[in-house]
Amino acid sequence: MLDMNFIRSNPDKVKENIKKKFQDQKLPLVDELIELDRQYRQFKTTDDELRAQRNAISKQIGGLMKEKKVDEANEAKAQVGKINETLQENEKKEDELFEKARKIQMMIPNIIADDVPIGKDDSFNVEEQRFGEPALKDFEIPYHADIMARFNGLDKDAAGRVTGNGFYYLMGDIARLHSAVLAYARDFMIDKGFTYCIPPFMIRSAAVDGVMSFAEKENMMYKIEGEDLYLIGTSEHSMIAKFKDQILKESDLPITMTSYSPCFRKEVGAHGIEERGVYRIHQFEKQEMIVVCKPEDSEAWYDRMWNYSVELFRSLDIPVRKLVCCSGDLADLKYRSCDIEAWSPRQQKYFEVCSCSNLTDAQARRLGIRVQGEEGKYFAHTLNNTVVAPPRMLIAFLENNLNADGSVSIPKVLQPYMGGKEKIEVK
């Protein structure tokens, strides 16, 4: 959410930013917001004057009563009563204007970085760098669901009977591999100095509105019927919301946290829930990282965080690339973002496995996360990044570590989490 003072002073810059994000339907909102803000501030000024007038008259009443000027005192009381009635009406209008303005304010996207590529959708995202040589296998690589089936590791038919499409059972060595990757990712981030956290898996609507745009909420979140609770789509939501309406000490920054959680997503408007595989599903598990820091440190943390993703995937013998997200592919709260994509030997292309974002102070404004500095209070900057998100990540892992005999090699860093196994064998 942008600062109202900034919007008021820079309407043309705000509109140009909206155009860069190809959201021209939001252009009229800028002028509407400025007018609502003008009316709101006008009411506040009028009401402050009325309160001052009421206080002055109220002070006179006591003196008039002492002087036994009852009629004048009663007249003054009547004036106070009229002022109170006017204030009551005005304060109601103030609240209505504030709520209407805030809702529009939360719909206006964050200003994007100057070097973000301009493009309407993810087809305009720009490859910036590759890490590791893409594997070219000299044998046919099956579809990932078929690889898992060789190990009796995936049962989507049973999940369909129990829950429906978009869910799965992982079994045996594949389930163990799934948990091993999460445990390794947890320890990887702890070794980087991040505090491990297991957060709530449900959050209230006020927290949801604070961590994401209205469009994301509608397309992603599952609402708990009869409760003011939503299932989280990522643990970033509840980790960042931990600091809602808090004033943090500047000396405590940066706050770096990593968390495990199950994640639940409706995937409305997505490319479709997979019938067979586990690439796009309603439920998955993830290790996430977040940073809350001073504004001047957020860009350095952004670079550090996406590099952690590269380092982790390379340690698992998976080639990756960094893809810079274009303006039209950025969610409204994001200043900049990049995807880390893993190489798929079967498809001979990369696919997304991590997403790293710098939200500057846009998310902190919505949540009320402030910092007490030497020269006063200011809004923190927040960042988030996927550490690893199996079972999607398992697709890249299985394809890149698959052997011609059908076995899957276990990289050295993961072997302690797999009971010392160097490979898993087809049963």
State the CATH number of the domain containing residue 128. 3.30.930.10
Look at the block and give the residue holding tokens 């509608």: 218
Same domain as 317, residue 241:
yes
Residue 362 is part of which domain span?
Answer: 122-424
Confidence (pTM): 0.90
Looking at the fold, whether 150 and 276 belong to one and the same domain comes out as yes
**88 and 128 assigned to the same domain:** no
Q: How far apart are CA 299 and CA 304, in angstroms?
A: 9
Given the DSSP bridges, would you call strands 230-231 and 370-373 parallel, antiparallel or unpaired? Answer: unpaired
Sequence-distant (6+) residues with CB within 8 A of 93 are 43
Domain with residue 97: its CATH number is: 1.10.287.40
Residues 264 and 402 in one domain: yes
pLDDT of 280: 84
Listed residues 44, 72, 105: the one ending a domain: 105
116 belongs to a structural domain: no
Last residue of a domain, one of 48, 77, 105: 105
Question: Does a structural domain hold residue 113?
Answer: no
Within a domain: 373: yes
Residues 255 and 296 in one domain: yes
- Going across the sheet that includes 230-231, the strands are 202-203, 230-231, 222-223
Same domain as 238, residue 134: yes
Residue 111 in domain: no
Residues 131 and 92 in one domain: no
Task: Say if residue 206 is in the same domain as residue 330.
Answer: yes
In-domain check, residue 117: no
In this structure, are 218 and 142 located in the same domain? Answer: yes
Q: How many angstroms separate the CA atoms of 257 and 302, rounded?
A: 14
**3-class SS at 343?**
strand
Torsion of CA 395, 396, 399, 400, to 10 degrees: -160
Length of the chain: 427
What string of pLDDT tens digits covers the 427 residues of the chain? 999 999 999 999 999 999 999 999 999 999 999 999 999 999 999 999 999 989 888 888 878 787 878 888 888 888 889 999 999 999 999 999 999 999 999 999 999 999 999 999 999 999 999 999 997 888 999 999 999 999 999 999 999 999 988 899 999 999 999 999 999 999 999 999 999 999 999 999 999 999 988 888 888 899 999 999 999 999 999 999 999 999 999 999 999 999 999 999 987 655 555 567 888 889 999 999 999 999 999 999 999 999 999 999 999 999 999 999 999 999 999 999 999 999 999 999 999 999 999 999 999 999 999 999 999 999 999 999 999 998 889 999 999 999 999 999 999 999 999 999 999 999 7
What angle separates helix 172-191 from helix 392-401, to the nearest 10 degrees? Answer: 100
Asked if residue 148 and residue 67 are part of one domain, the reply reads: no
Domain for residue 112, yes or no? no
101 and 135 inside one domain: no
Closest CA to 396 of 339, 323, 318, 338: 318
In a domain, 71, yes or no: yes
What's the domain count of the chain? Answer: 2
Residues 168 and 24 in one domain: no
| Neighbour-count burial of 422, counting CB atoms closer than 10 A to its CB (0-12 exposed, 13-18 middle, 19+ buried) | exposed
Is position 114 within any domain?
A: no
Q: 263 and 235 in contact (C-beta within 8 Å)? A: yes
